[in-house]
Amino acid sequence: MSHATFGAPDLTTFCNLDDLGLTVTGQRIAADRAVLECRVAVIDDVCHGCGDRARSLGTQSRFLAHEPFGCRPTTLLVRVRRYRCEPCGRFWLDDLRAAADPRAKISRGGLAWALRALVVDHLSVSRIAAGLGVAWNTANDAVLTEGHRQLINDPTRFDGIAVIGVDEHVWRHTRFGDEYVTVIIDLTPVRDRVGPARLLDMIPGRSKAVFKTWLSERSKAWADGIETIAMDGFAGFKTAAAEELPAATAVMDPFHVVRLAGDALDQCRRRIQQAIHGHRGHAGDPLYMSRRVLHTGLEFLTERQWDRLDALFDADDHAEVEVTWGVYQRLITNYRNPDRAAARADFTALIESLRTGVPAALVELRQLGRTLNNRKSDVLAYFDRPGTSNGPTEAINGRLEHLRGSALGFRNLTHYIARSLLEAGGFRPLLQPHL
């Protein structure tokens, strides 16, 4: 153990009250909370009008929730001194603005702790309210207001963005249908390999007009700096980007292209299942038993899985499934090929073959070929701009799903957007730079 020099115990410093301009004068410890009696450190008994020394009229009490210590809420009982200047008749109180805003119920130290707990530790608002010893509404309103003031409203968070991703997200499931938002993701750190993606904004609705309006509200300098936009197959996002960011390259990311091919494979398997057996897949049906193996990449197939596929494709009735599976595997292999030029050339040939050389019976492959041919330039743009993918966007969507679960759902979209930005907006390094 190092021989460090120890000073006298100081409750004011230990509880981080120096920056709040407070001094601890007493304490009361109970089972449910700790109460620290405080006074304002600077005595303000000189009249700002005439300069005479004022007479003290006693104190009035103000309670402020502070960051918890010792696994219990900590409350500051601040004795605010009252003054009266006899010559000019002015009244005033100790200046408490360093400790808290007027009429606030939580100290600035408590707000800083709550914001770190929400952004860094991903605590729920209920847990934060319990730590502060205040009501849920008090904690929620205070932490969202502080989050907007300190983090969300910072205009510099839109600086230096060159690659964005756009996708839809279900923020609420109802008995009358799902409610959607459009999420905008900053993918620049992923492309540059300097950090994870971060949520830029969330817009109510999912349409071309919604995305186009959001883009039109950005400055020209910001729009000129966007080089690449990653998106799914939704034509509305593509059209909006082409109209507002004509110089940017649209990339249909591999995540959604592979999903299109996987959907075609599943639809073909189900169609053949119905044609052969006259019902949906049951336990014991070869096509149903192989549904997961069909989606496994070639390099990850075990010997047992290869045997199952060989047995499946030995049946002539499964020939259409085998052809669709071959296209799916070829598409995945191209995305995993480290030789970008060779992968791009083979992918181009694959799209051409799907456009012209697919029999009419393979309806799923013909539909896939039309979709890929319509977005050919966007699909092939990925091989010219490696690392541009909406995969991080889907990862952030997963984090937002977890957020909804921890909060037991949201009913207010404004609160959901604010909580989502604080959860996935990349603010953690700002609150704890050493992480």
CATH number for the domain harbouring residue 230: 3.30.420.10
- Nearest-angstrom CA–CA distance, 98 and 367: 65
5 within some domain:
no
With cut-offs at 50, 70 and 90, classify the pLDDT of residue 131: very high
- Nearest-angstrom CA–CA distance, 60 and 62: 7
Same domain, residue pair 342 and 410: no
Q: Report pLDDT for 164.
A: 93
Same domain, residue pair 306 and 202: no
Q: Report pLDDT for 1.
A: 52
The last residue of a domain, from among 103, 129, 152: 152
Extended beta strands in 236-338, E state:
249-252
Same domain, residue pair 337 and 270: yes
- Inter-residue contact 193 to 187 (CB < 8 Å): no
- Nearest-angstrom CA–CA distance, 388 and 162: 11
Please check the confidence at residue 334 and state whether its pLDDT lies above 90: yes
Name residues whose C-beta falls within 8 Å of residue 225's C-beta, 6 or more positions apart in sequence.
160, 161, 162
How many CB atoms within 10 Å of residue 84?
A: 14
pLDDT in tens, 41-95: 988 888 877 878 888 888 999 999 999 998 899 999 999 999 988 888 888 888 8
Name residues whose C-beta falls within 8 Å of residue 251's C-beta, 6 or more positions apart in sequence.
228, 229, 230, 231, 378, 381, 382, 385, 388, 389
Which has the higher per-residue pLDDT, 189 or 386? 189
Same domain, residue pair 81 and 141: yes
- Nearest-angstrom CA–CA distance, 346 and 340: 10
When divided into structural domains, the chain yields a total of: 3
Q: Report pLDDT for 365.
A: 95
- Nearest-angstrom CA–CA distance, 254 and 257: 5
Q: For the chain, what percent of residues have pLDDT higher than 90? A: 71
Same domain, residue pair 260 and 368: yes
50 within some domain:
yes
- Considering only CA atoms, which of 242, 173, 205, 155 is closest in space to residue 184? 205
Same domain, residue pair 404 and 377: no
Query: Rg of the chain's alpha carbons, rounded to an integer?
Result: 31
Same domain, residue pair 103 and 166: no
Mean pLDDT of the chain: 91
Same domain, residue pair 188 and 316: no
Same domain, residue pair 407 and 279: no
pTM over 0.85: no
Domain coverage including residue 116? 11-152
Q: For the chain, what percent of residues have pLDDT higher than 70? A: 99
Name residues whose C-beta falls within 8 Å of residue 228's C-beta, 6 or more positions apart in sequence.
162, 163, 164, 187, 191, 248, 249, 250, 251, 385, 388
239 within some domain:
yes
4 within some domain:
no
Same domain, residue pair 92 and 180: no
> Dihedral of CA 120/433/158/252: which sign?
negative
The last residue of a domain, from among 152, 176, 192: 152
3 within some domain:
no
Q: What is the enclosing helix (H) or strand (E) of 425?
A: none
Query: Which region among 144-148, 169-173, 326-330 has the lowest average model confidence (pLDDT)?
Result: 169-173
Same domain, residue pair 163 and 96: no
350 within some domain:
yes
pLDDT in tens, 255-269: 889 999 999 999 999
313 within some domain:
yes
How many CB atoms within 10 Å of residue 361?
A: 11
2 within some domain:
no
Place of tokens 């004022």: 54
The last residue of a domain, from among 108, 136, 152: 152
Same domain, residue pair 55 and 113: yes
